[in-house]
C-alpha cells in the first residue's frame, strides 16, 4: 500500500527502475513521516476534553450501535433516535389543526361554483338569498410588479351552480335583507387552450432533439423547516404511505448547503449558489425574471408549468425581495394569496385557517387540480408551503393529515402514473431550544427528502432503481435535485456516466462513494459528515475563534450603529474542531489510492483547521454559531460562510430592513 502511494508520486519513473536500497530508504522515510503526523495530531488534540455520554458517540462519529445514515470514506452521518434523551423534553407529537366550520357555504366541483343550500337556508340566524363572484386578475404575460392584482367586474347574482371561467374568484353572499354575510375565495385551474399548439410544437422538437423515450412529469413539493427526524416524529401517516404504498426513496443523506430557505431553493431550482446568479441584497429591488429557473427549462420544452406558495409576505422570492414582474409559470397563485391575506377577520387558528379551510389544504387542492387538469399533458409543478411548519419544531404534526390525504388522493386517482415527485424540506428548525442541542444542530442540516418514482419506470429501467437505492445512503444536496430534474427532462433510457468535476450529481446516476462535502459544494459549517472533537473552552484557540466571530458580526453591522447596539461577547458556550472521518474501505482500487493520498499527503498535514463555536452576545443574549478557519502558518482566523442565529430574535431587529442583518441587530429602540 505504501509502495503504491510512492509509485504514484514517482512521476515518469517506473517502480522497477528504482534501486532496491533507495526503495527501502524511501519506505522508511514515509513510515517516519506517518508516525510524525500521528504524533502531531495527538499533540494538537491534547486540549480536547471528555464529552457527556449522551453526545460523545454522535459528535465523534463512533456510534456504539454502528448505525449510520451515510457511512462512506469522507462522510459519516449518524442515524440517531428521533426521541434522543437530550431532546425528549423538547419534542412531542402534535395533532391536526381544526378549522372552525365543518361545512362551507360555497364550494366548488370541477369548474362550477355552488351554494350549499342545506346551510344557506339557515345561515347564522338568517337565510341566504344569492351570491356573486368577482374575478381576481393579474396579466400572465404583461409585466407589472410582484404584488399587482386587481378585481374585475362582479358577476350577476346566482343561486344555482355557475361555471367559472377565471382562475381565482372572490365570492360574496347576501341574505334576504341584502346584507353581505359571507366571503370566501376559490381557485380554478383554467386551461389556456391558446398555448396548446405552441407547447405541442416545443415538445415535438424536444423529443426529436434529445431522443426522448419516456415523457415524465415533475412535482417539487416543499415544506418549511422540517428535518428528517422531525418528519419521522410528526408525519407518521404520510411517511408510512410514502414508503409502504408509493415506494418512495428516503434520501437519508440529504444535506442543506446554506442557511435559510431562499439560499437553499436557488441551488435546487437554478443549480447555482445565490452569489453565482449573481444576486445579493443590494439588488433587492430587482426582480428575478431574467434568471432561467428549472420551470423555465421545462416550459421551453413543451411543459405546462405551475408555481404556488402560501404566506405571501414571506414567500421565497418576495420576502425583502422584488419577486417576479411577470408570473413565472402558466399557473401562479400569488395574487389570490395576497387578496386573502387582506381579509384579517376571515382567518383563525393562529392564521392557519381561512374560513373553514386550512391554508395548506387550499394550496394542495390547487396543486391537485393542476395535476388532474393536465394528467394527459407533460407538466411541471413547484410548490412550497411555509406557515404551518415554520415556527415550532413540533408544528409539522398538524401537516400530517393534509399531506397524507393529498398523496392518497393522487394515488387513488392514478395521477402519479408518469410523475416523479420530490417531497422535501429546505432545512430543519433553525432556532429555539432544540437548536441548542447537538441533535438540533444535526437536524437543521438534514432536512427530509423523499423521491417518488413510478413503478413502471423502475421496472423498465432497472438502473434508475439501483442508483436511487444506493444514493439513499450517500451524501446528497439541492444541487443534485437540479441535476436530476435535468436528467428527467432529457430522459432517453440510457444510464449516463458521472462527471467527477461537477458539484451536483443526478440521482439517476450513482453518487460517488468517495464524495466529500467539499466536492458536493457544502461548506464545513453545514457539513453533517464531519466529526466534532470538543475543545476546552479555556483553550486559547477558542478565545481567538470567538473573537473572530464577534468581529465579523460587528463588521456586518458597522453601517448601522445608529440603530443597532454595539455587541460584546458575554461567553462562549461550545467549541469543537471539525475533522473528516477516518479512512474506511473503498470498493475500487483507484478510489482507495485517492483516499490514501488525500489522507497521508493532504488532510492530516494541512495547514488549515476548522473550529465551530457558539457564542452569546449582549445586549439581547443572542446565540450565534459559526465555523472559523485557522491558518496555522499565518495564525489568521476567518469566518467561513454563513453565521447561524440559533435562538429567536422576534422583534429585536424590527428597526432594520436588511434581511441578512436582522439576525445580528439588537435595535436600540427595542422595548421588551
CA distance 428 to 441: 9
Q: Please check the confidence at residue 460 and state whether its pLDDT lies above 80.
A: yes
pLDDT in tens, 179-192: 999 999 999 999 99
Confidence of residue 603 (pLDDT cuts 50, 70, 90): very low
Confidence of residue 16 (pLDDT cuts 50, 70, 90): very low
Least confident range from 212-216, 225-229, 418-422: namely 212-216
Query: Which among 179, 149, 191 has a CA at the least distance from the CA of 340?
Result: 149
Q: What is the pLDDT of residue 506?
A: 98
Give the whole-number percent of the chain exceeding pLDDT 70. 86
Burial of 661 (0-12, 13-18, 19+ CB in 10 A): middle
Q: Please check the confidence at residue 247 and state whether its pLDDT lies above 70.
A: yes
Helices (H), 290-399: 294-300, 334-341, 359-373
Average pLDDT over residues 485-491: 97
Burial of 300 (0-12, 13-18, 19+ CB in 10 A): middle
Handedness of CA 494, 498, 501, 505 (dihedral sign): positive
Other Cβ atoms closer than 10 A to 128: 23
Confidence of residue 114 (pLDDT cuts 50, 70, 90): very high
Q: What is the pLDDT of residue 500?
A: 76
Average pLDDT over residues 407-413: 98
Confidence of residue 422 (pLDDT cuts 50, 70, 90): very high
Give the whole-number percent of the chain exceeding pLDDT 90. 80
pLDDT in tens, 645-658: 999 998 999 999 88
Q: Please check the confidence at residue 54 and state whether its pLDDT lies above 80.
A: no
Contacts of 191 (CB under 8 A, 6+ apart): 373, 374
Q: Please check the confidence at residue 279 and state whether its pLDDT lies above 60.
A: yes
Q: Which residues of 548-577 are buried (b: 16+ CB within 10 A; e: fewer)?
A: bbbebbbebbeeeeeebbebebeebbbbbb
More confident residue, 22 or 220: 220
CA distance 617 to 606: 32
Alpha carbon separation from 652 to 563, 618, 648, 649, 665 (Å, rounded): 11, 12, 9, 6, 7
pLDDT in tens, 620-667: 999 999 999 999 999 999 999 899 999 999 899 999 988 899 999 999
Confidence of residue 157 (pLDDT cuts 50, 70, 90): very high
Average pLDDT over residues 28-44: 45
Secondary structure of 142-181 in HEC code, one letter for each residue:
CCCCCCCCEECCCCCCECCCEECCCCEEEEEEEECCCCEE
Alpha carbon separation from 585 to 69, 115, 191, 268, 595 (Å, rounded): 16, 67, 55, 31, 10
Average pLDDT over residues 418-423: 98
Q: Please check the confidence at residue 43 and state whether its pLDDT lies above 60.
A: no
CA distance 193 to 165: 13
Secondary structure of 594-605 in HEC code, one letter for each residue:
HHHHHHHHHHHH
Q: Please check the confidence at residue 8 and state whether its pLDDT lies above 90.
A: no
E strand or H helix that includes residue 420: strand 419-425
Structural domain spans, the chain: 2-44, 106-187, 208-526
More confident residue, 124 or 475: 475
Confidence of residue 100 (pLDDT cuts 50, 70, 90): confident
pLDDT in tens, 346-374: 999 999 999 999 999 999 999 999 999 99
Confidence of residue 122 (pLDDT cuts 50, 70, 90): confident
For residues 5 and 593, the answer to whether their CB atoms sit within 8 Å is yes
E strand or H helix that includes residue 62: none
* Superfamily of domain covering 208-526: Alkaline Phosphatase, subunit A (3.40.720.10)
Q: What is the pLDDT of residue 499?
A: 85
331-332 vs 304-309, strand pairing mode: parallel
Alpha carbon separation from 397 to 436, 449, 542 (Å, rounded): 21, 17, 39
Q: What is the pLDDT of residue 130?
A: 97
Average pLDDT, the chain: 89
Query: Which among 407, 410, 420, 408 has a CA at the least distance from the CA of 379?
Result: 420
Confidence of residue 504 (pLDDT cuts 50, 70, 90): very high
Q: Tell me the residue ranges of DSSP E strands in 502-635.
A: 531-534, 568-579, 608-618, 622-631
CA distance 613 to 611: 6
CA distance 427 to 225: 5
More confident residue, 440 or 56: 440
Amino acid at each position: 500500500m505504501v509502495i503504491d502511494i510512492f509509485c504514484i508520486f514517482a512521476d515518469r519513473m517506473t517502480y522497477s527502475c528504482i534501486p532496491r536500497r533507495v526503495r527501502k530508504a524511501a519506505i522508511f522515510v514515509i513510515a517516519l513521516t506517518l508516525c510524525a503526523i500521528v504524533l502531531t495530531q495527538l499533540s494538537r488534540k491534547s486540549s480536547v476534553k471528555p464529552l457527556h455520554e449522551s453526545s460523545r458517540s454522535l459528535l465523534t462519529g463512533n456510534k456504539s450501535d454502528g448505525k449510520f445514515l451515510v457511512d462512506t470514506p469522507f462522510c459519516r452521518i449518524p442515524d440517531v433516535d428521533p426521541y434522543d434523551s437530550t431532546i425528549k423534553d423538547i419534542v412531542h407529537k402534535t395533532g391536526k389543526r381544526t378549522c372552525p366550520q365543518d361545512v362551507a357555504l360555497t364550494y366548488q366541483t370541477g369548474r362550477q361554483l355552488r351554494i350549499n343550500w342545506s346551510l344557506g337556508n339557515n345561515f347564522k340566524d338568517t337565510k341566504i338569498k344569492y351570491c356573486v363572484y368577482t374575478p381576481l386578475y393579474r396579466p400572465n404575460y404583461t409585466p407589472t410588479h410582484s404584488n399587482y392584482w386587481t378585481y374585475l367586474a362582479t358577476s350577476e347574482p346566482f343561486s344555482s351552480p355557475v361555471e367559472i371561467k377565471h382562475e381565482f374568484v372572490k365570492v360574496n353572499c347576501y341574505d334576504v335583507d341584502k346584507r353581505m354575510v359571507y366571503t370566501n375565495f376559490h381557485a380554478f385551474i383554467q386551461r389556456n387552450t391558446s398555448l396548446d399548439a405552441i407547447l405541442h410544437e416545443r415538445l415535438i422538437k424536444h423529443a426529436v432533439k434529445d431522443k426522448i423515450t419516456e415523457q415524465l412529469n415533475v412535482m417539487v413539493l416543499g415544506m418549511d423547516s422540517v428535518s428528517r427526524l422531525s418528519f419521522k416524529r410528526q408525519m407518521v401517516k404520510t411517511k408510512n404511505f410514502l414508503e409502504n404504498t408509493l415506494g418512495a426513496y428516503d434520501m437519508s443523506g440529504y444535506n442543506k448547503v446554506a442557511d435559510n430557505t431562499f439560499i437553499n431553493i436557488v441551488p435546487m431550482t437554478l443549480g447555482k449558489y445565490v452569489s453565482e446568479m449573481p444576486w445579493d441584497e443590494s439588488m433587492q429591488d430587482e426582480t428575478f425574471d431574467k434568471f432561467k429557473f428549472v420551470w423555465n427549462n421545462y416550459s421551453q420544452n413543451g411543459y405546462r408549468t405551475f408555481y404556488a406558495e402560501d404566506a405571501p409576505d414571506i414567500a421565497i422570492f418576495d420576502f425583502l425581495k422584488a419577486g417576479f414582474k411577470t408570473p413565472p409559470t402558466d399557473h401562479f397563485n400569488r395574487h389570490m394569496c395576497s387578496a386573502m391575506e387582506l381579509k384579517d377577520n376571515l382567518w383563525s387558528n393562529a392564521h392557519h385557517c381561512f374560513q373553514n379551510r386550512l391554508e395548506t389544504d387550499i394550496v394542495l387542492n390547487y396543486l391537485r387540480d393542476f395535476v388532474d387538469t393536465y394528467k394527459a399533458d407533460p407538466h411541471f409543478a413547484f410548490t412550497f408551503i411555509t406557515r404551518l411548519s415554520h415556527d415550532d419544531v413540533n408544528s409539522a404534526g398538524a401537516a400530517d393529515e393534509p399531506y397524507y390525504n393529498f398523496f392518497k388522493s393522487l394515488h387513488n386517482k392514478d395521477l402519479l402514473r408518469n410523475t416523479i415527485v420530490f417531497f422535501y424540506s429546505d432545512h430543519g428548525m433553525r432556532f429555539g431550544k432544540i437548536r441548542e442541542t447537538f441533535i438540533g444542530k444535526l437536524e437543521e442540516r438534514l432536512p427530509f427528502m423523499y423521491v417518488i418514482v413510478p413503478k413502471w419506470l423502475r421496472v423498465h429501467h432497472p438502473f434508475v432503481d439501483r442508483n436511487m437505492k444506493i444514493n439513499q445512503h450517500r451524501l446528497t444536496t439541492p444541487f443534485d435535485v437540479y441535476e436530476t430534474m435535468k436528467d428527467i427532462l432529457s430522459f432517453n433510457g440510457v444510464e449516463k456516466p458521472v462527471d467527477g468535476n461537477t458539484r451536483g450529481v443526478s440521482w439517476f446516476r450513482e453518487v460517488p462513494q468517495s464524495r466529500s462535502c467539499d466536492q458536493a459544494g457544502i461548506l464545513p459549517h453545514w457539513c453533517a459528515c464531519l466529526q466534532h472533537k470538543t475543545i476546552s473552552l479555556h483553550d486559547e484557540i477558542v478565545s481567538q475563534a470567538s473573537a473572530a466571530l464577534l468581529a465579523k458580526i460587528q463588521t456586518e453591522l458597522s453601517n448601522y450603529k445608529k440603530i443597532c447596539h454595539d455587541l460584546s461577547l458575554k461567553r462562549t458556550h461550545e467549541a469543537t474542531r471539525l475533522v473528516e472521518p477516518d479512512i474506511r474501505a473503498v470498493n475500487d482500487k483507484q478510489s482507495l489510492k485517492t483516499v490514501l493520498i488525500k489522507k497521508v499527503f493532504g488532510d492530516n498535514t494541512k495547514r488549515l483547521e476548522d473550529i465551530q463555536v457558539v457564542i452569546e452576545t449582549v445586549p439581547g443574549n443572542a446565540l450565534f454559531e459559526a465555523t472559523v478557519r485557522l491558518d496555522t502558518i499565518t495564525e489568521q482566523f476567518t469566518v467561513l460562510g454563513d453565521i447561524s442565529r440559533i435562538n429567536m430574535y422576534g422583534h429585536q431587529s424590527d428597526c432594520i430592513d436588511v434581511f441578512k442583518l436582522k439576525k445580528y441587530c439588537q435595535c436600540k429602540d427595542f422595548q421588551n
